A and B are shown apart, each in its own frame.
Chain A
Amino acid sequence: MARIQLENVKKAFGKVQALDGITIDVKDKEFFVLFGPAGAGKTTILNCIAGIAMPEEGVVKFGDEVMNLTDPAHRNVAMVFENYALYPQMTVYDNMASALRSKLYKASEEEIAERIQWAAKTMKMENLLERLPSQLSNGQKQRVAMGRALVRTPNVFLMDEPLAHLDAKLRNSMRTELKEMQANLGSTCIYVTHDFMEAMALGDRIAIINKGKIVQIGTGDEIYYMPCNEFTAQLMGEPQINIFEATVAATNDGFDAKINVCGEEITLALPKDDNVYSKIKEQGMVRCDIGIRPQNVKYSFEPKEGYFKSTVYSYESIGNKSVIVAECGDYQLRMIAPNGLNVEIDSDVYIKLEMDHIILFDFESKEYIVRYDEASFIALAASKEEE
């Protein structure tokens, strides 16, 4: 087990800059999640750590040791590949035993059998051990790929979307299992995913990656509540955060935000929050982007005090709840609603934004400026980190 560090790692494939100065510091025994859209460079980061890819610039360190010139075999990492990479000519058992039969990581056959039994049990695949990879479904292959990594005691586990091909039920139970296992094994784990729920549930810390760069590193709460820019805010959360433009105007005792709803200007008072007010004053803010999570958007189908009018664009179930999308002209507003409502498309809906939950972003740079109740979220993040 080891602390894993990347310092200013750069890697290009032809003209494409896959990694553009990645610096991360994964603590020993940490569960570190790499989260970002497809093509962001997440897999390339794992490859650089494993030694499969050679960075053109920068340093890869395990503990205090610089690993750049160490070949993959000698790095003692266990990796779960996104497309499984099982050896087609070997049974599941032999696939899992492969590392422990190599010269470098040799174990006795009894020990191998023991560890495989344990891993197979954990991954719920004891009945698959004698099969060939070609006889497995994608979900089963993925579990074998996981099992092949788990039998080892490596410096670090590298997992590339290891749950992506499992069905929803199994994915949930595996997620729990993984978290528990990681705590027990006390192992460092770097985990790639594009699933927001997985990132939040598993990661001690999350690194948001986009276009080969680190956008933000922090605990799940930190990133969720204080995203460093609009990109991160949109990435974290399902359904996606609402972001729209506003102009800020001073009033007698505070500030108003004016937003445009279908061509009509709606004025919303910004509730008093010393921190927010001081940031607005400091910047002499005139325009900004407002971000608000769907759960903080309230709706009514009858006109109501403090609600503004819009029309329903769509109403769709996302499992145990539904999302109403309202048309507001240049943008749309998503809000959470229960399932089974009788909502007609294009009918009127009245909306209220809970302004004491909003996040303010810079209008030009789209960077985070401030959010309501910031201090308590900073405290929350700090307490999590200490755990």
Chain B
Amino acid sequence: MKTGKQRALYVLQNFLLIVYAIFALFPLIWMVLITFKSDTEVFTTTFLFHPTLANYQEVLLRSNYARYILDSVIVSGGAVLVSVIVGVPAAYALARYNFPRKEELAFQILSYKFAPEILVVLPLFMIYQKIGLYDSYVGLIWVYQLISLPLLIWVVRGYFEDISVEIEYAAQVDGYSWYQIFFKMLVPLIKPGLVSSALLAFIFAWNSFTFPLILSSNKVYPVTVAIMKYLGTDSAHYGQLAVASTVSALPAVIFALCIQKHLVRGLSFGAVKG
């Protein structure tokens, strides 16, 4: 039974949401439209134009795009994988154990996320050149930990804090070793937080620009840096750039659709203890 006032409010809320959705989604639609435009039509047409697949052919078939994507997958995927492997146990320790200066340590780890990229990257540029990590997968995966690891640790730590320690005791009494408890009991419980923070970390790593721009050149060429190539020196191929950009968003989009169920719920940071 809705009163007139409630109905008006309902309509207003939907209206506001649609307004924001147009703002948020139109540029994406625009980008997709550009992928079908020839370079001349990019500047001369809006919605009415002669659609062409030339940009797709150019990018996907006649350039090294697949390799760039592969490099991005290796670097970002590798970074997230390393973060999960070392970050989940660290998050557990920060949630469960009491050791001196624990909060400082947790903040320290978090602050890596906030270290200005330029600050890290300038000296790292020289170190990497000296020790041979410049322009290598390992080098980028390592520096990407600054993006992915703190985020993952902080989200997952909130989850571990929400799990009552008695559950672990109960499992011990039930005859399980610490490792069995960790993998069989705890990992399923932190899964929502783990997958959604892993997704966010993946997105941030995938989109990272400064690190690959400065720390790699030819052998490792992630797609964010590669995209700039289509702005070329002779002429700017906006259509190709749009294709490259659209296609490069696909892995994250697919990942997001797969974990839809966990995506939102998983990022609650254990905000309110349950």
Interface residues of A (CB under 8 A from B): 47, 50-52, 71-79, 81, 83-89, 98-99, 102-105, 148
Contacts and interface: CB of A to CB of B under 8 A. Distances in A.
A105 B176 CA distance: 10
A102 B175 contact: yes
- Nearest 7 A-B pairs (CB), nearest first? A102-B175, A85-B166, A104-B175, A72-B172, A99-B174, A85-B170, A52-B169
A102 B179 CA distance: 13
B188 interface: yes
A274 B53 CA distance: 114
10 contacts: A74-B175, A79-B170, A81-B166, A81-B169, A85-B166, A85-B170, A98-B174, A104-B175, A105-B174, A148-B170
B172 A51 contact: yes
B164 A99 contact: no
A89 B164 CA distance: 13
Interface string B143-176: 0000000000000000000001011011111111
Contacts of B9: none
A98 B171 contact: yes
B244 to A, nearest CB: 42
B177 interface: yes
Of residues B170, B177, B180, B185, which shows the largest number of chain A Cβ atoms within 10 Å of its Cβ?
B170
Contacts, number: 62
Nearest to B177: A73
A78 B170 CA distance: 9
Given A50-B172, A87-B167, 16 more contacts: A47-B169, A50-B169, A52-B169, A52-B173, A73-B174, A74-B175, A85-B166, A85-B167, A85-B169, A85-B170, A88-B189, A98-B171, A99-B173, A102-B175, A102-B180, A148-B174
A87 B185 contact: yes
A360 to B, nearest CB: 44
**Majority SS at the chain A contact face:** loop
Contacts of B164: 83, 85
Contacts of B170: 79, 81, 85-87, 148
A98 B173 CA distance: 10
Contacts of B173: 50, 52, 72-73, 75, 77-79, 99
Nearest to A51: B172
A89 B189 contact: yes
Given A83-B164, A87-B185, A88-B189, A99 B175 contact: yes
Contacts of A47: 169
B175 A103 contact: yes
A79 B177 CA distance: 16
B193 to A, nearest CB: 14
A230 to B, nearest CB: 35
Contacts of B185: 87
B172 A105 contact: no
Of residues A51, A76, A85, A99, which shows the largest number of chain B Cβ atoms within 10 Å of its Cβ?
A85
Contacts of A86: 167, 170
Given A73-B176, A102-B176, A87 B171 contact: yes
A73 B188 contact: no
A105 B164 CA distance: 24
Nearest to B188: A89
Nearest to A158: B173
